[in-house]
Amino acid sequence: MAYDWRQARNQFPVLERWTYLNTATFGPVPRCAVEAANDYLRRRNDLACLDFLDWFDDADQTRAAAAALLQAAPADIAFVPNTATALSWLVQGIDWKPGDRVVALEGEFPNNTYFGYALAQRGADFFEAPLPGGEFCLDRFCAAIRPNTRLVLMSAMNYSTGLRPPLAEIGRFLQEKGVLFYVDATQGLGAIRLDAPSLGAAMIAAHGYKWLLCPPGIGFCYISPEVREWLRPAVFSWRSHEDWRCVDALYHGPPRLSSKAEKYEGGTQNFPGIYAMRAVLEMMLQIGLSEIEQRVAHLAGKVREVLRRRGGELASDRLPYYDSPLIAARFRGADVSRLAIRLRGLDVVVAARHDHLRISPHFFNNEQDVARLEEALRKTGL
């Protein structure tokens, strides 16, 4: 039986006023997530926090849902407050030598390039692989991988153009070369499916505040079993010892670390965020990840049709690898930042990034939202 998408829309009160097509900036938080976080806070008062170890059991349920999203095992998942934290764990754990190469794509999200520049200050060779005219060429990218390359940093979708690199092909190539592969999945995960084991990535990190529809400050990362064998935690806490649940007599010697990714998390976690995330992920899994991906792809196609009719120039019309739910269009002679502000005045929420008007629908949107976008564009004179 086909899913009733009207049921999903009822979860998002933002849609009562706004035509919200801006998930790539912030995903609206559904009612079920707000209720889950509030229930946790009420429970703290009702039970005087006496059940605090149960919070970690509940967090493991969220961990299992996050693992299902990536076709991974719960032991592979660690909670993070943001992707910069996850990437810093990886970067700090590598034994860098002068001349080691770090590669990112041109125009990457600043997290990835800033880490590259910081490593360059320590003697690394940071290289931004060019995208002439926005074109990604797998052979050209692979040619940038030299014997001294240690790490590749890449987003699942480019935040300003919607470029969606062929991660599986890239991952296989890098695995053959023994190069660590870091994927920031904040842009996309929740609307596109990723299979962590098949990507061959050392780490895949996602902050939940965009396509995963969570409050800021809660995310998770996949850390491969092979990487966990050598990557030391950057943070130690009372939970570092494998028997940390024995809170009546915490261990005071050198901690024996777990083999699970949770050993990287540190101490007490963002439980309101974890409970909210669990509600969202369970909703997504109940709908079906394939169904969500198909729904978002359908709506993205409708958005592209609108943008073409209004005179927008789309990279997807001339280049491969732009088949993403983040749709970026150029309008000749138009100031897209002012255009986004004018659309906001018509209760249509989109964004402007690097001379692109950026539209990012999710599964809670519908064809009527796309029609309202077109009508609003008409009103602006396009």
CA 42 to chain CA centroid, nearest Å: 29
How far is the C-alpha of 275 from the C-alpha of 32, rounded, in Å?
Answer: 10
- Give the orientation angle of helix 31-47 with respect to helix 271-287, to 10 degrees: 140
pLDDT at 93: 97
User: Using 50, 70 and 90 to split pLDDT, how confident is the model at 1?
Assistant: low
Architecture in CATH of 40-285: 3-Layer(aba) Sandwich (3.40)
pTM for this predicted structure: 0.97
Class of domain 5-29+289-379 as given by CATH: alpha beta
Any idea where the domains of the chain sit in the sequence? 5-29+289-379, 40-285
pLDDT digits (tens, 9 = 90+) for 137-195: 999 999 999 999 999 999 999 999 999 999 999 999 999 999 999 999 999 999 999 99
> How long a stretch of residues is the chain?
382
- Helix/strand number for the chain, H first, E second: 13, 13
- DSSP-assigned states of every residue in 195-216: -HHHHT-SEEEEETTSTT---T
Q: Which of 112, 115, 102 is nearest to 151 (CA)?
A: 102
Query: What's the maximum distance between 2 C-alpha atoms anywhere in the chain?
Result: 70
pLDDT digits (tens, 9 = 90+) for 280-322: 999 999 999 999 999 999 999 999 999 999 999 999 999 999 9
